[in-house]
């Protein structure tokens, strides 16, 4: 029995030893297999150490398999294409060609839509390193199927230097500006008006063009040409020939008398010559003081008699107040009430008391606005010793009304002025103008 048991145990031991040997062999082979596989995988991954995995893009270009130098080249090329992008600005039948670089662009790199301050070198490193932190198995999956990699899209945006864009547009606007041609009206010897034709001008709409150039980055196909159509705005001439052709009727006139052959008379003639032919469109303002220019020897004026603090004194330009007075009475008869009118310090002899107007540089002026719906043409001339002012306008400018200034004298030094308004010969109303007091002459 002992012998049999001994044999059995010995046999069992041999079987166990055989199994152990087989297991050890299998384990050893397994370890060798995994080490070989790991080494093979590491060797395979090592090949991708310096190149980009899949699912990484610059624009629509996939970077899979590209190294750092290639990625940097593509980045630089994309930025260069942005700077060299052609911008064509067209207006009428003209065109000017520039590039985005003309406007000193600030170019931003976006990673998945988010701005980054990375340099091109850093961006390339970032793209290559992405997914390298994953396990070997995950990296092998990315290598086999690039779409399993972390998706990264590099895009670009830019903004232009606002001051440079504005300066560019301003210069362009000057170059393509077409000034309007103003119509001119003149009264011929046959008392007929002659009107030259006006021509519309053109100017480019600067604000719209600035916006259009600034917004070129909205079209993010950097290889495309940016075509910008400059909008041309029409510039209407102030003096339009169609409006001036409506001037055909004498609507008011007034005259005063003076001694032409005197220094005072010469001053009146000189100032009047500067008013003659004045055209005022509806809403235009007029200042006697400005139009007749400063009363200086250089402007052709002589020393004449003028009022100063109740005295008659010698003054360069003395006498020009008669110009303002004659004009005042002429515009009143056209239904135009002045914006500014000042009385003399003392009464004058050439109009009723209270219907005068004075002009003194810096203190007194006759200013008015053309309140009619038509242009007015002012004819101002002297005929011998008569100073005659006339206002022409459209035949319906006064709409059937007539106007007559009236002075109510209270004393030798006081009067109130009214403007009486008539229609069909009947007094409609009286408009209060002003009440004036005058000084007595000294000495």
Per DSSP, the residues of 345-372 read SB--SSS-TT-----BTTTB--EEE--S
Handedness of CA 113, 114, 115, 119 (dihedral sign): negative
Residue 340 DSSP label: B
Q: What pLDDT, on a 0 to 100 scale, did the predictor assign at position 125?
A: 94
291 contacts 380 by C-beta, under 8 angstroms: no
Q: What pLDDT, on a 0 to 100 scale, did the predictor assign at position 32?
A: 45
210 contacts 163 by C-beta, under 8 angstroms: no
> What are the residues whose beta carbons fall under 8 Å from the beta carbon of 160, sequence distance 6 or more?
100, 103, 104, 105, 106, 213, 214, 216, 217
d(CA 350, CA 330): 14
For 180-215, the DSSP string reads PBPP-EEE-TTS-EEEPPPB-EEEE-HHHHHHHHHG
> What are the residues whose beta carbons fall under 8 Å from the beta carbon of 416, sequence distance 6 or more?
354, 407, 408, 410, 432, 433, 434, 435, 436
159 contacts 93 by C-beta, under 8 angstroms: no
Structure tokens at 93: 């039948």
d(CA 268, CA 195): 28
**DSSP run (H or E) holding 171:** helix 162-176
d(CA 4, CA 6): 5
Domain segments of the chain as ranges: 56-179+202-229, 246-396
Place of tokens 């200042």: 287
Nearest to 403 by CA among 388, 389, 418, 393: 418
d(CA 424, CA 416): 26
- For the chain, counts of helices (H) and of strands (E): 10, 23
Question: Coil, strand, or helix at residue 253?
Answer: strand
Q: What pLDDT, on a 0 to 100 scale, did the predictor assign at position 36?
A: 46
d(CA 277, CA 187): 8
Query: What does pLDDT average to in each consecutive run of 10 residues of the chain (443 residues)?
Result: 67 70 62 49 71 92 93 94 92 92 94 93 94 86 88 92 95 94 91 94 96 81 82 96 96 97 95 97 97 94 81 84 97 98 94 96 94 98 95 96 97 96 96 95 63
How many C-beta atoms lie closer than 10 Å to residue 170's C-beta?
A: 13
Q: What pLDDT, on a 0 to 100 scale, did the predictor assign at position 144?
A: 86
Structure tokens at 109: 């790199």
């Amino acid at each position: 029995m002992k012998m049999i048991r001994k044999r059995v145990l010995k046999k069992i031991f041999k079987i166990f030893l055989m199994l152990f040997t087989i297991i050890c062999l299998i384990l050893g082979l397994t370890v060798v297999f995994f080490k070989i596989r790991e080494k093979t995988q590491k060797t395979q991954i090592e090949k991708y150490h310096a190149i980009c995995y899949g699912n990484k893009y610059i624009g629509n270009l996939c970077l899979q398999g590209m190294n750092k130098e290639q990625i940097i080249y593509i980045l630089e090329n994309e930025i260069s294409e942005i700077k060299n992008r052609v911008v064509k600005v067209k207006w009428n039948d003209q065109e000017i060609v520039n590039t985005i670089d003309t406007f000193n662009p600030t170019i931003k790199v976006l990673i998945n839509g988010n701005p980054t301050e990375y340099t091109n070198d850093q961006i390339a490193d970032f793209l290559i390193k992405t997914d390298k932190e994953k396990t070997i198995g995950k990296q092998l999956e990315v290598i086999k199927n690039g779409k399993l990699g972390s998706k990264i899209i590099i895009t670009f945006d830019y903004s232009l230097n606002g001051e440079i864009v504005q300066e560019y547009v301003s210069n362009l606007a000057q170059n393509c500006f077409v000034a309007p041609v103003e119509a001119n009206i003149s009264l011929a010897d046959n008392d007929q008006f002659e009107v030259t034709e006006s021509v519309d001008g053109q100017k480019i709409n600067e604000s719209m063009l600035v916006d259009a150039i600034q917004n070129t980055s909205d079209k993010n196909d950097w290889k495309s040409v940016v075509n910008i159509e400059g909008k041309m705005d029409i510039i209407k001439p102030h003096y339009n020939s169609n409006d001036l052709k409506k001037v055909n009727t004498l609507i008011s006139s007034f005259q005063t008398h003076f001694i032409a052959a005197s220094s005072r008379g010469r001053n009146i003639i000189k100032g009047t010559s500067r008013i003659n032919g004045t055209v005022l469109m509806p809403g235009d303002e007029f200042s006697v003081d400005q139009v007749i220019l400063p009363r200086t020897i250089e402007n052709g004026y002589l020393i004449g008699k003028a009022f100063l603090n109740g005295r008659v004194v010698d003054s360069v330009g003395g006498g020009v107040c008669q110009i303002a007075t004659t004009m005042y009475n002429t515009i009143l008869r056209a239904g135009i009430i002045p914006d500014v009118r000042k009385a003399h310090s003392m009464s004058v002899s050439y109009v009723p008391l209270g219907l005068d107007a004075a002009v003194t540089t810096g203190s007194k002026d006759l200013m008015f606005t053309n309140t009619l719906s038509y242009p007015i043409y002012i004819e101002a001339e002297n005929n011998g010793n008569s100073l005659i002012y006339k206002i022409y306008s459209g035949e319906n400018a006064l709409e059937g009304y007539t106007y007559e200034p009236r002075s109510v004298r209270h004393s030798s030094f006081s009067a109130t002025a009214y403007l009486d308004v008539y229609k069909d010969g009947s007094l409609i109303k009286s408009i209060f103008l002003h009440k004036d007091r005058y000084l007595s002459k000294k000495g």
